[in-house]
Chain A
């Protein structure tokens, strides 16, 4: 008891030295553990989403870009494929094809154009309000809604693609019809709308004043039979309302409109294999098993992790050597103290027990700090994961 008391008094007196030692030891132990936990958590979350998605399809190109985009709405937007390719996939009769078009953002959150089947497939249901049914409607993921302070019937403006491109897509003011219940996935941080709403954002469709009935004759450039050509002064709508819904229309062949990916849901494994086989040599479309692609991607992450592991081992070795240096210098500086204690009747074993007690206390405090950091890390793990997820 006396020895531990002395050890405690010493480490308490040497506050700065103790704090530095404790912090150094704690970080040396905590960092590799934290990186391991983060990498494991990161891998599990990526894989969980991938395992829940049987197949993903998109235009030929980077398989990583396609999977990261189709599953996590992150990374580079892959080359688009026409809607007719999605319909062709479904026409194979080997499962449903759910189109996705996630090229745009609203207040920094991805706007995902899709069909109602997506919500059923991902098990998403509104915690408030309802799913989007009308052109211009959207539903917000739980976290996006929390971050933007959205509630049903609020309005949400999409981000312009390029503020300097006057001819580019104009922002659309969407009506928020519902907030999704959280499901601990990238869906929480997305805004979902109908595919046609996203095409509106892209400028493939629009609504404007009826130039024939209500319009200013000055905006009409020419009339050719039933076709009226107006100039850019024609007032266009930035929001779909019940009043102007009818004025919205699309130009061109909807089958040729773009989607950035599609999720394929074959009823069984065999159908999935058949679908992959049929599209293996397809010229423009690739069908990928997300789990295999994500595992491949994680292989890269794990290789980086091994580098970190080796780095941490070296840091730990350097730390151990530094600690040995600190202890040996401390022993040298305290030689007179040890001699005094011996002269006063303290055995040499007890003196070294006291020094060991000091080291034990430092180690115990380091472990306590590690536990504290781990608890804090666990509390913020979800936020960290979101920052890390692609």
Chain B
């Protein structure tokens, strides 16, 4: 599903360089990525999502070499294959719950042609316990509910790959646990591969395996 080889990435004017000699994640796996702050966890997710392109090495997802694609092609790839969950949810406050869930279809022309319609939104929202709140403005939701909306938005296009960046980072421990369980459950139901970055080592047991990015980088020069 995901293959990274000899990947090197450095932001402009940054002294730190992310190095990933080799990383493989199989389809359907639920993988947690841990590392100290600033080690490049989010950057790694962005490389896998095709948001960033490495300066060296190869990133292949579903057999597609992302480094070889242009910006538009990587965007389309992202729309079709990747669902993204952000730490601070990044919902649009001027849209209601249903519109936020459906947002990928509203903003991507290619995806719009495959819009499953309101029924799919309702079904997914019901699975996430948001069935009664579809027309509610997101600013009137609790943090936990917002995270559930963000999960639904990531899953609406039925992506093969779900990338979650600190999905419980903005939630209290109890709510975070509930959100993670939902994330894992929805990933299972939708048969998505899940790669989640987390600080919370207490949650690692819920994943199939854990990748320590610091250890991974230290294995050898990329």
Contact = CB atoms under 8 A, between A and B. Distances in A.
A9 B96 CA distance: 10
Given A13-B93, A350-B107, A340 B99 contact: no
A5 to B, nearest CB: 7
A129 to B, nearest CB: 65
A341 B75 CA distance: 11
A346 B111 CA distance: 10
**B interface bracket (residues with beta carbon within 8 Å of A):** 20 to 34
Contact of A347 (B49, B75, B84, B112): B75
User: A interface, by DSSP: helix, strand, loop or mixed?
Assistant: helix
Contact of B107 (A9, A12, A344): A344
Nearest to A13: B94
Contacts of A337: 90, 92
Interface in B78-100: 78-79, 84, 86, 90, 92-95, 99
Interface in B50-91: 51, 72, 75-76, 78-79, 84, 86, 90
B167 interface: no
B103 interface: yes
A6 B84 contact: no
A2 B94 contact: no
Contacts of A9: 94-95, 99
A2 B99 contact: no
Contact of A6 (B107, B111, B112, B153): B107
Contacts of B218: none
Contact of A346 (B84, B107, B153): B107
Nearest to B88: A336
Given A6-B95, A344-B153, 15 more contacts: A2-B107, A3-B107, A6-B92, A6-B106, A9-B95, A10-B94, A341-B103, A342-B51, A344-B84, A344-B103, A344-B107, A345-B76, A345-B108, A345-B111, A350-B107
25 contacts: A2-B105, A2-B107, A2-B112, A5-B106, A6-B95, A6-B107, A9-B94, A12-B94, A337-B90, A340-B90, A340-B92, A342-B51, A342-B75, A343-B51, A343-B78, A344-B84, A344-B104, A344-B107, A345-B79, A345-B104, A345-B107, A345-B108, A346-B75, A346-B107, A346-B108
Interface of A: 2-3, 5-6, 9-10, 12-14, 336-337, 340-347, 350
